[in-house]
Structure 1
Amino acid sequence: MEMALEEAREVMEQATARAGVRVRPLTETEDLVEMEALFTAVWEHPPGSVELDISLLAALARSGNYVVGAFREDSLVGATAGFLCEPFPVTLYSHVTGVDRQRAARGTGTALKAYQRVWCLERGITGVRWTFDALQARNARLNMGRLGAGWASFHVDYYGVLRDGLNRDTGSDRLLLHWDLSRTAADRDAQRPADVTHTLLSVGSAGEPVLGAAPTAPTRLQIPTDIDALRASDPALAQRWRDTLREVLPGLIATGWQVVDFDDRGAYVIVPPQQEESL
């Protein structure tokens, strides 16, 4: 554990320096009001609607849970809120993370996650869970490719019908992830297969999902590079991608396949259970 914490502190220092941010807990009302406003803007909520309101943020922040912000100079440009969850007391549920991409430098999201790892390990918390849309390639690259989180389960319409501007009318299918904070970068690198030749899911010539043969060895699951742009230009095709993941992911997860990377070509790299155990 000490090796993981030492690595986490070094990674945090590098990540915050690259993004040009200062990350710290938020407890003062003024900061929490600014955080509520940031989340509302990031998710494009209509008037009268918020992602997390000030009363809940204050309750979380002042009861030992995780409420943290990233500042560029004196401006709040990113934030995260989370709370302890099962299995207690070693797991944090990271409920929401938002970054103002108009004002934040690239790498702010990475800096927030790097800080989160240090905060958790210093308190004996060894795992973080959160959900994300499996069709979001940028998030997948951070979550799996850089952090090394793995999928725990897949849920259709996890949050029901969402009303924010980013997710309205898109469904709320989510992957639940688990990030083992005790694993070092060397551990993650050793788990990644050297050469993956099979592709289970790829992007066709017209942008459509193309399914290959059922895999028995490490394989790739490619997704669109920008699902938000695809939703805007071709909602029906975007829905085909969502339907395809609903068809593919639950079975893979149920039979023990594990995601070990998200590669530079925009694909999840997954391995069968016996391969994952032997790496």
Structure 2
Amino acid sequence: MAQTALQEARDAVDQATTRAQVVVRPVTETDELVAMEALLAAVWEHPPGSVELDITLLAALARSGNYVAGAFRADELVGATAGFRCEPFPVTLHSHVTGVDRQRAATGTGTALKAYQRLWCLERGITGVRWTFDALQSRNARLNMGHLGADWVSFHVDYYGELRDGLNRGTGSDRLLLQWDLTRTAADRADKTQQPEPAQTLLARGPAGEPVLGTRPTTYSRLEIPTDIDGLRASDPELAQRWRDTLREVLPGLIADGWRVVDFDEDGAYVIAPPHEQEPR
């Protein structure tokens, strides 16, 4: 099984990097780490004097056996990712940050970075990756849960406290924590127990883009989120905050009662499973 997953990971890197026209590789040289610091600061729209990940920490991670990699297009850095080993040791990586310069990078660069992350980990005996992401980011939810097949672990209100970057300042830092089983192959994902089609929609996008709550679910249900929360924050910050507040109102109570987030569908909604149902993955 491990060898099958490893070969699948190698093939996935070849396919993803070819599609995105990038080379993904470890970054250890100072000039490239400086470029990585600048790229991450720009992606998260940090004000002058603030960075997403400091060059000294990037260098320390890169030179101490942790994970620091870049996506290069014609020798130009267009994507970056960094992480560190975490509990349960020694088989887990915490993927702390992944950013793509969407002005210069081709579609699929983020997928190529995740594909390479899987290969890098499996070659070192790491079989699981954990990371957090903003529960309102539909693009990330679709990649993380729908495409990669990462599993939901937990939901946290203000996981990082108040953030200072331009994308998240004043919006709260609620996060879903995910776990990606790197040994699970495409065949495993295809053979997993299939959950029923959701019969209810607990949270829907209203006609003006507003969150509309339905009745408490009794079976598999959907929680829709905005298709572009970053654009909504720019055009209507009050409405964006309503979405944040609504998820805060709904998710913790459901999770406390044993409901689980099991998927993110192609129509832009989380799928939640009722308590005591068999795990679908």
TM-score (norm 1): 0.95
What residue number does 1:263 align with?
265
Moved more, 269-278 or 8-17: 269-278
Match of 2:219 in 1: 217
Deviates more, 1:225-234 or 1:23-32: 225-234
Aligned twin of 1:128: 129
**CA gap 1:12/1:157 in 2 versus in 1, 3 angstroms:** same
- Within-5 A mapping of 1:29-48: 29-48=30-49
Instruction: Tell me how many residue pairs correspond in the alignment.
Output: 279
Sequence identity percentage: 77
Indicate conservation of the 8 Å contact 2:138/2:228, yes or no: yes
- How much has 1:90 moved relative to structure 2? 0.8
Residues 194, 280 of structure 2: 8 Å contact kept: no
d(CA) in 2 for partners of 1:79 and 1:18?
A: 17
The aligned runs of 1:1-279 (5 Å cut-off) are: 1-189=2-190, 190-193=192-195, 195-277=197-279
For 1:94, the aligned partner's letter is: S
Q: What is the Cα deviation at residue 194 of structure 1?
A: 5.1
User: Distance in 2 between the 1:251 and 1:187 partners?
Assistant: 31
Residue identity opposite 2:18 in structure 1: A
1:36 Cα deviation after fit: 0.6
**1:238 is matched by which residue type in structure 2?**
A
Contact preservation (8 Å) 1:152, 1:253: no
For residues 82-114 of structure 1, what are the alpha-carbon distances to aligned partners after superposition, in whole Å with 9 as ceiling and x for unaligned? 000111111100001110000000000000001
AA aligned opposite 1:222:
E
TM-score, normalised to structure 2's length?
A: 0.94
In 2, the alpha carbon distance for the partners of 1:184 and 1:257 equals 26
Structure 2: runs of 5+ lacking an equivalent: none
Q: Distance in 2 between matches of 1:127 and 1:92?
A: 6
Structure 1 stretch displaced more, 142-151 or 188-197: 188-197
**What stretches of structure 1 of length at least 5 have no aligned partner?**
none
Do the aligned partners of residues 8 and 252 (structure 1) sit closer, same or farther apart at CA in structure 2, a change above 3 Å counting? Answer: farther
Cα distance in 1 for residues equivalent to 2:274 and 2:8: 29
SS in 2 for 1:276: coil
Q: Distance in 2 between matches of 1:84 and 1:178?
A: 14
**SS of 1:171's equivalent?**
coil
The answer on whether the counterparts of 1:196 and 1:218 sit within 8 Å (CA) in structure 2 is: yes
In structure 1, C-alpha distance between the alignment counterparts of 2:280 and 2:263, rounded to whole Å: 16
The 1:85–1:248 alpha-carbon spacing in structure 2 relative to 1, beyond 3 Å, is same
Structure 2 residue matching 1:176: 3-state secondary structure:
strand
State the alpha-carbon separation in 2 of the partners of residues 263 and 215 from structure 1: 18
Bigger CA drift: 234-243 or 244-253? 244-253
Question: Please, which moves more after superposition, 212-221 or 41-50?
Answer: 212-221
Per-residue deviation, 1:253: 3.0
CA distance in 1, matches of 2:275, 2:4: 27
CA contact (8 A) 2:195 2:280 kept: no
Change (3 A) 1:53 1:22: same
CA distance in 2, matches of 1:109, 1:276: 31
Change over 3 Å in CA distance of 1:237–1:191 after alignment to 2: farther
